[in-house]
A = this chain, B = another copy of it.
């Protein structure tokens, strides 16, 4: 994929308007006005490309692609596998998924195919080949977009059989499987592979090892399907580049694993701006976390594949982006490592599920509408910033976000079935670091920690032996590790560790956990800092861990519980280990705590903030290479570095010189 500039454009559905050449002509005209240089085609075009089984109509698509190209607009070409035609669902029931309750779906919606079905793979193979043969070497096609927002699972008999094959490959023997799942509990030992079925509301749902393996299997199935499509295209398009569009907080697929199979990561970003529970800055930080997560997939620039220029139609309440927010969001995307600002969608559909979703061009087709005017403005600014394309960010801090851990953690019955607030925990660490202007990446337990100064280990309930050792080595070599409560509880089979916990980290931390107390929503325990600590007084919540200091080489408490029967037990502790050190956070604290904690930790580790001075509240800074972006998330103007920033305004410096 040639990447000469920042991509600007988005999803385009001309198959909905083939009977309206006037509208297709207006599209080209308006795209040029809006500085659009790239569109995504074909995401839901299967019924137009293959209106009857074996009858293919690709000419219309070729015409569109070439007309766009003639007007300077590249195409990201999608395979259409996310939404199959009605004739296929009707003729071949096996292509339709079976739900967890074992009911086969009727024809419906999208992202609903059985990824195991040989019939479906064959039908996808044929249409993908047709596309690859026709467009595989077309200079207009910049990138291949495999399917769309892969998700969900299928419980059909074909998938049950595939699951059993997957289990055999993982465990070799039923003995090993029974042991890994502790199947003997409640007498569930399996004595034949055929006895094993996927989790179901009316079936097995108490064997947590089975549930975890099912999630692994489903993730692997999606990745296998992705590889199948990619390789099908590659046969006719050997130099083609591939992406797949990922989603906000999606946990159905291990995206770290999936990302190994693609050339560039991309994701679809639909923040709920202006919701009553969040400030604009908070929404921006929530989005930034996701940008940084998807940047981390390949450790290099990603694409923002979809975003709304205005509003959505699927949230409980959909608000208009206030004037300026579209630009703020677009430039933040670039600041955090995106090489594109792409919209869903170019022109609003007249009917069906998303007809009231925002678009660059609305139903009235007007150029004077705000979404269009704001898109023009974004397009202009992206051209100014074009040389940032392909520039990477500097490694500073890493936070562990491991899909397998999240699956195990959320699948377990424990001290807080009412909700562990996994993302809330990550946000507390992320936001504190991001507000300091530190570049954050995300890692999983397979990741290399080299190059980071600080690694945060938040609620890593499922902690592998290897990663525990990696953390110790990281500290040994001078790194700083921050370990929270609810870490190191189980092994990779979700079996509780026998022995002291956080398992594998007690030497690193200089303490061991002795009790875990679940806290009700709203229930807190006051924590007071030790005399020599600069930490603020805070409130513990969610879970309060009680720890006992090691007899030899114990940790140093920085803050202790001031209430309840665990009064004076450490709430926060630090421990030197080799060249580095490890912090232990025994509970979840309030936001101010993390600000203070990380401000000190960052300084101690020697990480350089994006902006050298303290920023006004609600102003965020991010560095990408030699570029520094400062964004005002406030409704009021602020001044930063002598530059006035209006409401939602952004300034960009390159090597210290303001370029925007």
Contact = CB atoms under 8 A, between A and B. Distances in A.
A498 B19 CA distance: 14
Interface size band for A: 35 or more
B351 A496 contact: yes
Given A106-B200, A317-B416, A364-B499, A86 B350 contact: no
Contacts of A90: 192, 194-195
Interface in A92-127: 99, 101-110
A320 B515 contact: yes
Interface in A194-228: 194-195, 197, 200, 202-209
A80 B187 contact: yes
A487 to B, nearest CB: 14
B313 A413 contact: yes
Contact of A108 (B107, B110, B203, B351): B203
Given A182-B350, A186-B110, A496-B356, A191 B46 contact: no
B187 A85 contact: yes
Interface string A10-51: 000101100000000000000000000000000011111001
Given A108-B204, A184-B48, A415 B311 contact: yes
A449 interface: no
A496 B322 CA distance: 24
Contacts of A320: 515-518
B363 A498 contact: yes
A513 to B, nearest CB: 9
Contacts of A515: 320, 370
A204 B105 CA distance: 9
Contacts of A276: 520, 522-523
Nearest to A324: B565
Nearest to A181: B351
Contacts of A241: none
A323 interface: yes
A497 interface: yes
A108 B206 contact: yes
Contacts of A106: 102, 197, 200, 202-204
A381 interface: no
Contact of A205 (B109, B190, B314, B348): B109
Interface in A493-526: 493-501, 512, 514-523
Interface string A321-363: 0110000000000000000000000001111111110000001
Contact of A356 (B319, B414, B519): B414
Given A184-B15, A187-B83, A495 B351 contact: yes
A2 interface: no
A357 to B, nearest CB: 8
B364 A498 contact: yes
Contacts of A184: 15-16, 47-48
Given A47-B184, A182-B350, A187-B47, A518 B355 contact: no
Contact of A415 (B192, B195, B356): B356
B187 A44 contact: yes
Nearest to A276: B520
A318 B187 contact: no
Q: Which of A184, A493, A523 has the most CB of B within 10 A?
A: A184
Given A107-B203, A200-B106, A353 B498 contact: no
A205 B418 contact: no
A353 B185 contact: yes
A517 B356 contact: no
Nearest to A515: B320
Interface string A626-656: 0000000000000000000000000000000
B349 A185 contact: yes
B363 A412 contact: no
A200 B181 CA distance: 35
Contact of A317 (B348, B418, B500): B418
Q: Which of A202, A313, A316, A565 has the most CB of B within 10 A?
A: A202
Contact of A87 (B180, B195, B499): B195
A352 B207 contact: yes
A48 B47 CA distance: 55
A42 to B, nearest CB: 10
A349 B86 contact: no
A366 B115 CA distance: 48
Given A200-B106, A351-B208, A189 B316 contact: no
A352 B209 contact: yes
A87 B16 CA distance: 53
Contact of A202 (B103, B186, B364): B103
15 contacts: A16-B182, A48-B184, A80-B187, A85-B187, A86-B191, A106-B197, A185-B353, A207-B352, A209-B352, A317-B415, A319-B415, A319-B520, A348-B496, A356-B496, A364-B499
Ranked nearest first, the 4 interchain pairs of A and B with the lowest CB-CB distance are: A182-B351, A106-B203, A206-B353, A185-B352
Interface of A: 13, 15-16, 44-48, 51-52, 80, 83-87, 89-90, 99, 101-110, 180-192, 194-195, 197, 200, 202-209, 275-276, 311, 313-320, 322-323, 348-356, 363-365, 369-370, 412-418, 490, 493-501, 512, 514-523, 564-565
Given A108-B203, A209-B351, A318-B416, 5 more contacts: A208-B355, A276-B522, A313-B413, A317-B518, A318-B415
